[in-house]
Structure 1
């Protein structure tokens, strides 16, 4: 069946529906989907509970998505909160909010600001992210990574008191990539080609191939130049 022959799903107010394959999904209000769902386009304004995997070529989330499953997207725009019990795979994610995953996160591009928590590996071609709270991943593997500190988040009001009042920063055991430009980052090991350790960083060991720059206020336990 061609995707333009698939049915649309429109949910307004408080609703419950079954999963399935759809061309367009539009949700406004408080809704629940029981079962895996796939769509060409997926748009949600409100609060959504997805009991199963969710996949969409284009996904726009304005509000809160609680996902009991895996998330697969072509492109995702997140203005709010995604709380997933599985992993995320996709091409690009542009976010202003909070992304929390128990599994891995694999993206070609992650940009925006907010908070992310990844229970496994965060891998991407490019990450350019402004921290608005405490973010973490077990390991981060990238081609290019730029981490900055940003101000308070308007989206944080969606969570009320759910956001822990932790110091703004990024924590990972290992960060590895071709170009790493870090601020307010804590890691056991940072390994890369060109590495910039900026203000607010605390790194156990830095391994670099091409060049290393360390801010005077950063803390680095050991620096080591490694082979190409």
Structure 2
């Protein structure tokens, strides 16, 4: 990586090379060619980063594409973001639509809207508020909560006419304390499990307490 210390600010159309910086601000049609390491980075608009990002604080919004990994202490992603690598940090917050992420590792994971993560989410605390289609192979954590948020007003009316119901689709969920709504899963495994409304679960394995809402379907229950 190029040894550069300083600030970057791109507004409108602009391009910079990767390197080490203090603060980075990109808006409009800005792009970064290569890996970038910095303290704080803010990206908005139709930005493109052709490499990895490593920072303390990361905020991405707009139609942003990242062709590498996103590593940071505090990561806040909104808008329409595509990232091809790993998402790793202490606190990760996702809103809007996020696609193509390989996997996600953090202490605390919060998401609202829709997302597509190819492999897994691994976090101590997982809180997913479903407002769109969500897909991940595996969710692992100590405290896992998945809830459905009903859209209201004109947007909710359009969704009811033209969209499938927002759900989380996952192969397996494993945690100590689990609460699920609007979830389609092959296996849910944990200590204390509560299945809320409109879930379809093939197998539940639990060792503590289990509660299943009458509006959900579970094919097999195994007490460990």
Q: 1:44 to 1:194 in 2, by over 3 A?
A: same
Runs in 1 of length 4+ with deviation above 6 angstroms? none
Aligned alpha-carbon RMSD (Å): 1.9
Q: Determine the structure 2 residue equivalent to 1:20.
A: 19
Number of aligned residue pairs? 214
Superposed CA offset, 1:21-68 (max 9, x none):
111001121111110111100012312111111111101122122011
Q: Determine the structure 2 residue equivalent to 1:121.
A: 120
Larger deviation: 165-174 or 96-105?
96-105
Q: Give the Cα separation in 2 of the matches to 1:58 and 1:81.
A: 19
Superposed CA offset, 1:172-197 (max 9, x none):
11100011100000001000011001
For structure 1, the 5+ residue unaligned runs are: 157-163
Q: Determine the structure 2 residue equivalent to 1:36.
A: 35
Structure having the larger proportion of residues in strand: 1
Superposed CA offset, 1:73-117 (max 9, x none):
110122212211111111111232122234111111112411121
Superposed CA offset, 1:141-196 (max 9, x none):
1111111111349xx9xxxxxxx944300011110001110000000100001100
- Answer whether contact 1:53 1:68 (CA < 8 A) is retained: yes
Q: Determine the structure 1 residue equivalent to 2:131.
A: 132
Aligned residue runs from structure 1 range 37-76, under 5 A: 37-76=36-75
For structure 2, the 5+ residue unaligned runs are: 156-161
- Answer whether contact 2:193 2:209 (CA < 8 A) is retained: yes
Q: Is the partner of 1:47 in helix, strand or coil?
A: coil
Q: Is the partner of 1:210 in helix, strand or coil?
A: coil
